[in-house]
Amino acid sequence: MAHQAPAKAGPGSPGDSGGQESGGRPPGPAPRPRAADRALRQRAASVIPGGMYGHQSAGPLPPEYPQFMRNGRGARVWDADGNGYVDLMCSYGPVVLGHQHPKVEAAARAQAELGDCQNGPGPVMVELAELLVATVRHADWAMLAKNGTDATTMCCTIARAQTGRNRILVARGAYHGAAPWCTPRPAGVTAADRANLGHYEFNDLDSARSAAGEAGDDLAAVLVSPFRHDAGYDQELVDPAFARGLRELCDATGAALILDDVRCGFRLHLGSSWEPVGVDPDLSAWSKAIANGHPLAAVLGGDRFRDGAASVFVTGSFWFSAVPMAAAIATITALGEEGALEAMERAGTALRDGIVAQAAAWGLEVNYTGPVQMPYLTFAGDRDHALGSLFAAEAVRRGAYIHPRHNWFVSAAMTAEDIDLVLAATDQAFAAVRERLGG
Ligand SMILES: Cc1ncc(COP(=O)(O)O)c(C=O)c1O
């Protein structure tokens, strides 16, 4: 298993002296005074709109969730009050090898000593582009940016520039970022921002064909995620025939097939997430895991879209910072060298088997969906997420950091001890759900 926290001396492990490295408590049902978090929330309320915003806002979550986190190491994180958790959200995806992976952080520090934000990118930009092209089958070139939204937006812009067409098809309910063309919240968005979008249903080829028919000769691209991971819904793996059908549709119409690998990229496969399915996109969007938590995004593409990619003006003040690029090279190298993909699959399988067995033992009907490395749990018939929220709150209270309405992320740093701690917490969380339902 890659980068395991030392079994005896690691933070939060038995025998840990109260967490010298972490300065916090080990995960578990410890008393959790939340004085620091409460004070920070109060101060934030007057200087940050809404007190917090975006996907990491704890506002919509049960009160058991801390808002502010202090540090992380391996598969453990600590909140501002020093409470420890086994981390099953991995910063909502960026952390794949575990927090503070030694080789990634050493590479980042070495680059930081040379320089980060300069008048031009470092040599690491070319090294990273070469590594990405060598690692991802459909990639003949790479462009780098900061966030997943940069990457999905760039893919659409490149597809339009190359094809001279306007319309982009997206799956209904899919998340591709927070820009006006794709944000799930309508505030501040104009009809013009969405004017060139068409919709299809994930895994429904007929609906994609019909949306393509409506777009006619204005179809620039079909955008799709590797599997259906819409927040709050049971996840759905891709039907390979659907993936192949989208490829054929794009080949027949000249549109670009864009794979949004922002959430799944380098978690399921060391290459595009559709390589095991046997379907290569023309363009792909990446971010989250590619630099193990350092801010970086990438667009990868094939030669057919190289001219379009070269023609668009896309940039940002921090897009060419060298530190995240050095971190990405170390991350991708470690993913391969340390067997991290296999480690995540093993840990995810142990977690799934344990949780599904617990649910059955408590007589609870659950849906545990998605790849084991990115699972999501719902309770049958729990449309308003009341049981899911209770379950998550009880798990968090006992030191297993999961989410009630978003898929979880398993990192390669999870040890057998981490899995045991999670299962101890989820068993008690199921007990609370059983009690709520009676019996
Ligand atoms: C599938 C997918 N695409 C795009 C994005 C947007 O990425 P970012 O939040 O880095 O802009 C996300 C973020 O969660 C995502 O999951």
Mean pLDDT computed over 331-341:
98
- pLDDT surpasses 80 at 9: no
Mean pLDDT computed over 40-66:
97
Q: How many angstroms separate the CA atoms of 264 and 149, rounded?
A: 14
Please tell me the distance between residue 182's alpha carbon and the centre of ligand 1 in angstroms.
10
Q: What is the rounded average pLDDT for all residues in the chain?
A: 94
Closest CA to 392 of 405, 409, 383, 375: 405
Mean pLDDT computed over 218-237:
97
pLDDT at site 24: 80
Q: Which of 89, 152, 235, 296 to mutate to test the pocket of ligand 1 (most atoms within 8 A of CB)?
A: 152
Please tell me the distance between residue 227's alpha carbon and the centre of ligand 1 in angstroms.
14
For atom 13 of ligand 1, the residue with the nearest CA is 177
pLDDT at site 32: 66
Q: Indicate if ligand 1 lies below 6 Å from the C-beta of 406.
A: no
Mean pLDDT computed over 20-45:
82
- Confidence tier at 28 by pLDDT (50, 70, 90): confident
Q: By CB neighbour count within 10 A (0-12 exposed, 13-18 middle, 19+ buried), where does 303 fall?
A: exposed
| CA triple 388-391-397, angle to 5 deg | 135
Q: Using DSSP bridges, classify how beta strands 400-401 and 69-73 pair: parallel, antiparallel or unpaired.
A: unpaired
- pLDDT surpasses 80 at 33: no
Please tell me the distance between residue 146's alpha carbon and the centre of ligand 1 in angstroms.
11
Please tell me the distance between residue 183's alpha carbon and the centre of ligand 1 in angstroms.
10
- Written in H, E and C, the secondary structure of the chain is CCCCCCCCCCCCCCCCCCCCCCCCCCCCCCCCCCHHHHHHHHHHHHHCCCCCCCCCCCCCCCCCCCCCEEEEEECEEEECCCCEEEECCHHHCCCCCCECCHHHHHHHHHHHHHCCCCCCCCCHHHHHHHHHHHHCCCCCEEEEECCHHHHHHHHHHHHHHHHCCCEEEEECCCCCCCCCCCCCCCCCCCHHHHCCEEEECCCCHHHHHHHHHHHHHHEEEEEECCCECCCCCCCECCCHHHHHHHHHHHHHHCCEEEEECCCCCCCCCCCCCCCCCCCCCCEEEECHHHHCCCCCEEEEECHHHHHHHHHCCCCCCCCCCHHHHHHHHHHHHHHHHCCHHHHHHHHHHHHHHHHHHHHHHCCCCEEEECCCCCCEEEECCCCCCHHHHHHHHHHHHCCEECCCCCCCCCCCCCCHHHHHHHHHHHHHHHHHHHHHHCC
Read off the pLDDT of residues 135-164 as tens digits, 9 standing for 90 and up.
999 999 999 999 999 999 999 999 999 999
Please tell me the distance between residue 437's alpha carbon and the centre of ligand 1 in angstroms.
35
Higher pLDDT, 144 or 3: 144
pLDDT at site 409: 98
Q: How many angstroms separate the CA atoms of 223 and 255, rounded?
A: 10
Please state the atom number of ligand 1 nearest to the C-alpha of residue 93: 14
pLDDT at site 31: 60
- pLDDT surpasses 90 at 5: no
- Written in H, E and C, the secondary structure of 304-328 is HHHHHHHHCCCCCCCCCCHHHHHHH
pLDDT at site 312: 98
- Confidence tier at 29 by pLDDT (50, 70, 90): confident
pLDDT at site 252: 98
Q: Indicate if ligand 1 lies below 6 Å from the C-beta of 148.
A: yes
- pLDDT surpasses 50 at 19: no
Q: Which two tokens stand for residue 193?
A: 């921002």
Read off the pLDDT of residues 158-208 as tens digits, 9 standing for 90 and up.
999 999 999 999 999 999 999 999 999 999 999 999 999 999 999 999 999
- pLDDT surpasses 90 at 65: yes
Share of the chain above pLDDT 90, in %: 92
Read off the pLDDT of residues 310-333 as tens digits, 9 standing for 90 and up.
999 999 999 999 999 999 999 999
Q: Indicate if ligand 1 lies below 6 Å from the C-beta of 135.
A: no
Please state the atom number of ligand 1 nearest to the C-alpha of residue 146: 10
Q: Indicate if ligand 1 lies below 6 Å from the C-beta of 163.
A: no
Sequence-ordered list of residues with C-beta below 8 angstroms from that of 95, at least 6 positions apart, any chain: 72, 87, 289, 292, 293, 409, 411
For atom 3 of ligand 1, the residue with the nearest CA is 176
Read off the pLDDT of residues 375-409 as tens digits, 9 standing for 90 and up.
999 999 999 999 999 999 999 999 999 999 999 99
- pLDDT surpasses 70 at 35: yes
Please tell me the distance between residue 109's alpha carbon and the centre of ligand 1 in angstroms.
26
Read off the pLDDT of residues 69-99 as tens digits, 9 standing for 90 and up.
999 999 999 999 999 999 999 999 999 999 9
Q: How many angstroms separate the CA atoms of 158 and 283, rounded?
A: 9
Q: Which of 153, 176, 296 to mutate to test the pocket of ligand 1 (most atoms within 8 A of CB)?
A: 176
Q: Indicate if ligand 1 lies below 6 Å from the C-beta of 226.
A: no
Give me the residues paired with residue 14 across strands. none
| CA triple 381-384-388, angle to 5 deg | 75
Q: Which two tokens stand for residue 337?
A: 């060298």
Please tell me the distance between residue 180's alpha carbon and the centre of ligand 1 in angstroms.
14
Q: Indicate if ligand 1 lies below 6 Å from the C-beta of 176.
A: yes
